[in-house]
Amino acid sequence: MAGDTYKDRGVHTRLAHIGNDPHDFFGFIQPPVVHASTVLYPDAATMAGRTQKYTYGTHGTPTTDALASALDALEGSAGTALVPSGLAAVTLPLLAFLSPGDHVLITDSVYRPTRHFADTVLSRMGVEVVYYDPLAGAGIAALMKPNTKVVFTESPASNTFEVQDIPAIAGEAHARGAVVMMDNTWATPLHFRPLDHGVDISIHALTKYPAGHSDVLLGAVSANARCWGQLHATHSALGLCAAPDDTYQVLRGLRTMGVRLERHGRSALEIARWLEGRAGVARVLHPALESFPGHALWKRDFSGTSGIFSIVLAGGGDRQAHAFLDALSIFGLGYSWGGYESLAVYVQLDDRALGAAYEGPVMRLQIGLEDVADLKADLEAALAAAAAAA
Ligand SMILES: *Cc1c(COP(=O)(O)O)cnc(C)c1O
């Protein structure tokens, strides 16, 4: 398999070559984009035995195999299921491993739509959902019950970027027989490999950095050998599959993700440092800043940073937050992130059960590939507008 050949190479070499072998398809660098439902069988015996590699469009094609195998190489996973969105990459493993009467522990700072799924669909299924402090670490043990089947983590957290002690949580969860899942979208497999830290199932919104251009929705769920069978069975049973063109776009995006991420990360950290201590900014929530409470854990476990973080304005409310956003001219106002362009969002934290108190509005910034000086000027104008709205 192409992924294995490059196992010990540097990350940029791997990104350039993993997934598909060009010589499997006449030497063309990219794999074919296979549009398929029906696959033909050469004879009745093969059809009856279903022994050929591809059997039906929902069960995979050379295009989905190329992306799944690239992700397996990056994650160190036994198998990867591709699904139509990042949210589906969250819901699929939860559906695969939870049954009525089970108990699930979910980090309180989880991606908001994950919480919505848990509070609606999982609750209706008769699953008991409990949210835990993202900083619980080994303290998770006290919350576990005999029927705790899944511990769901996301680190750094959506919007507020708390860093979880994943190895400690995984150790306690495994000691009590639970499956550990992690939404690893922030770091991408380049900066954190969950399975190396005790996680069983790693989740990605490929919509973000892997796609990288704000024009594709796709998700991936990568499992270790212990969990792959059950995940794969549920993936097939649900009929969830990834469209060929979207799959291709993400595979294409992966090839340049390393260089994009380097720039996103460098620009974001420079801007985060510049924002720290500026008038009008109470705090900067970025795990790579020495001042950030989760910095030591982040440094221990993560090998790099990405381009999204938040700032806390020094006081004010909706009026200041709206003035900040409306003064931006380069940053777009929009959800999602991971594309080449900068974005800003006014973060709502009212869903948190264990909400931390912040000094003012929390503004999430996705730092794109634009020039840092231009982005700073834009933020300077936004901070001035927020101050003027006071
Ligand atoms: C964006 C995001 C998702 C969902 O991805 P979509 O493709 O937009 O559905 C899931 N988890 C995290 C942490 C995200 O940021």
The secondary element (H helix, E strand) that includes residue 150 is strand 148-154
Domain spans, the chain: 2-254, 257-388
pLDDT above 50 (res 3):
no
**Within 13 Å of residue 59, how many CA atoms lie on the same side as its CB?**
10
Is the model's pLDDT at 185 over the cut of 90? yes
Q: What pLDDT score does 2 carry?
A: 44
For the record, the structure tokens of 162 come out as 């708390």
Residue at token pair 């507020």: 160
Residue 235 pLDDT exceeds 90: yes
Q: Collect all residues with Cβ–Cβ distance below 8 Å to 135 and sequence separation of at least 6.
A: 162, 164, 165, 294
Q: Which pLDDT belongs to residue 354? A: 77
Amino acid identity at 6: Y
Which single residue is written with the structure tokens 């507008």? 385
67, 30 Cβ separation under 8 angstroms: no
pLDDT of residue 274: 98
Rounded to 5 degrees, φ, ψ at 311 are -120, 150
The structure tokens listed for 72 are 């397996």
Was domain 2-254 assigned CATH 3.40.50.2300? no
Q: Which amino acid is at 59?
A: H
User: Which of 87, 112, 188 best tests ligand 1's pocket when mutated (most atoms within 8 Å of CB)?
Assistant: 87
User: Closest ligand 1 atom to the C-alpha of 88?
Assistant: 9
User: Structure tokens of 228?
Assistant: 């792959």
The pLDDT mean for the chain works out to: 96
Predicted local distance difference test score (pLDDT) of residue 357: 86
Structure confidence by residue, pLDDT tens digits, 347-390: 999 888 876 789 999 999 999 999 999 999 999 999 999 999 97
Q: From the CB of 336, is ligand 1 less than 6 Å away?
A: yes
Low-confidence winner among 10-24, 223-237, 372-386 (lowest mean pLDDT): 10-24
| Token pair in block for residue 104 | 């699930």
Residue 209 Cβ inside 6 Å of ligand 1? The answer reads no
Q: Using a 6 Å cutoff on CB, does residue 306 contact ligand 1?
A: no
* Whole-number Å distance between alpha carbons of 209 and 188: 7
- Residue 158 Cα: closest atom of ligand 1: 13
Main-chain phi, psi angles of 332, to 5 degrees: -85, 155
Distances (CA, A) of 318 to 120, 321, 332, 347, 365: 29, 5, 18, 11, 17
* Ligand 1 site, residue 217, Cβ cutoff 6 A: yes
* 191 token code pair: 């900066």
Question: 3-class DSSP state for residue 275?
Answer: helix
- Binned at pLDDT 50, 70 and 90, residue 4 comes out as low
d(CA 307, CA 299): 16
In angstroms, rounded to a whole number, what is the distance separating the alpha carbons of residues 343 and 345?
Answer: 7
**Ligand 1 within 6 A of CB of 111:** yes
What secondary structure letter does DSSP report for 366?
A: E
Q: Which atom of ligand 1 is nearest to the CA of 87?
A: 9
Question: Smallest Cα–Cα separation from 132: which of 161, 159, 153, 155?
Answer: 153
Instruction: Say if pTM beats, i.e. exceeds, 0.75.
Output: yes
- Judged against a pLDDT cut of 80, whether residue 1 lies above it is answered with no
Percentage of the chain lying above the pLDDT 90 cut = 95
In this structure, how many other beta carbons lie within 10 angstroms of the beta carbon of residue 57? 16
Which CATH number is 257-388's, of 3.10.20.70, 3.90.1150.10, 3.20.20.60, 3.40.50.970? 3.90.1150.10
Beta bridge partners of 56: 38
DSSP secondary-structure letter at 56? Answer: B
Q: What spacing in Å lies between the alpha carbon of 279 and ligand 1's midpoint?
A: 32
- Cα gap 81→64, rounded to integer Å: 9
**In the predicted structure, residue 186 carries a pLDDT above the cut 60:** yes
**Alpha-carbon distance 335 to 121, whole Å?**
23
Give the residue-averaged pLDDT of 261-270.
Answer: 98
State how beta strands 179-183 and 332-333 pair: unpaired
